[in-house]
Structure 1
Amino acid sequence: MKWKVAILTASDKGSKGEREDTSAQVIRELVEEELNGEIVDYRIVPDEQDEIMAALIEMTDYYQADLVLTTGGTGLGPRDVTPEATIKIADRLVPGISEAMRMGGMSRTRRAMLSRGVSGMRGRSLIINLPGSPKGVHECLMQVMDQLPHALGIVSGRIGEHANER
């Protein structure tokens, strides 16, 4: 199955062109190589809750992305507001995804516990907040990659909830 994927980077410096968006490049590579995904939208917005919310709504409602992966804005800094924006536009949260990413990260660095990223659903789209660093993006996404096809199949309505269970 081919999945429609959108990438949203929350970064003040990135939105001004002052920093190369290497985390989004990592996401793009993993989505295409590991998930059989097609990027249908990509954008960089500043760390402003309203702008993040507007982009997430457009990516899910207009572009109808099966999966929206965000990068950046999940730390403890005063401008890190991606989780809050995601929670405000989500219909339901999917905490197990973010918990699995944090748990996997904790085996490599105790600082993984400081990530505030969330995962949720909006309509038939799954949204996952990833860290801002390329290394963190790779580690977190690979921690859950094997479960994404099943999750996306259920969220999108392409497969039944109990398909392939033993």
Structure 2
Amino acid sequence: MIWKTAILTASDKGARGEREDTSAQVIRELVEEELGGEIVEYRIVPDEQDEIIASLIELTDYYRADLVLTTGGTELAIRDVTPEATSRVIEREVPGMSEAMRSAWMERNRSAMLFRGICGIRGRALIVNLPGTPKGVHECLAAIMDQLPEALLMVTGQYRQ
């Protein structure tokens, strides 16, 4: 199965073109190589809650992405609002996935306890917040990659027991 995947980067510097989005490159590689997914949309927005919310809604409702992976805006800085924006658009949270990501990442990096990312369902899409660093993205996606196909089958209504 090819999963339609969207990538959303929340970054003030990235949105202004002042920083290369290396985290999204890691997401793209892992999605295409490990998950067999297809990137249907990619965008960078500033760390503004309203813009993140609007993008998440568009990616799930208009682009009909099965999976939306966000990167950035998940730590403690005042402008880090991706989890808040995500919580405003999801209908149900999937706490086990965010717990697994945090736990696996903390085994290698104690500062991972500062990661506030959440995971949840909007309609027939799974939204997963990832850290804003390439290494953090890799660690967190690796922690849940084996469960993503089953989760996506469930969320999209294709799961057969």
User: Do they superpose with TM above 0.5?
Assistant: yes
* 1:19-38 → structure 2 map (5 Å cutoff): 19-38=19-38
Counterpart of 1:152 in structure 2 is 152
Structure 1, unmatched stretches of 5+, are none
Query: One-letter code of the match for 1:86?
Result: T
Deviations 1:18-64 (A, max 9, x none): 00000000000000000000000100000000000000000000011
Structure 2 distance, partners of 1:55, 1:91, is: 16
Post-superposition shift, 1:159? 1.3
Counterpart of 1:48 in structure 2 is 48
Counterpart of 1:123 in structure 2 is 123
Other structure's SS at 1:8 match: strand
Percent identity between matched residues is 73
Structure 2 distance, partners of 1:40, 1:77, is: 30
Counterpart of 1:66 in structure 2 is 66
Structure 2, unmatched stretches of 5+, are none
Other structure's SS at 1:20 match: coil
Structure 1 distance, partners of 2:106, 2:46, is: 28
Post-superposition shift, 1:150? 0.1
Counterpart of 2:94 in structure 1 is 94
CA RMSD of aligned residues (A): 0.5
Structure 1 distance, partners of 2:107, 2:74, is: 19
- When the two structures are aligned, how many residues end up with a matched partner? 161
Query: One-letter code of the match for 1:146?
Result: D
Post-superposition shift, 1:106? 1.1
Other structure's SS at 1:17 match: coil
Q: Extract structure 1 runs of 4+ deviating beyond 3 A.
A: none
Counterpart of 2:137 in structure 1 is 137
Counterpart of 1:10 in structure 2 is 10
| TM-score computed with the length of structure 2 as normaliser | 0.99
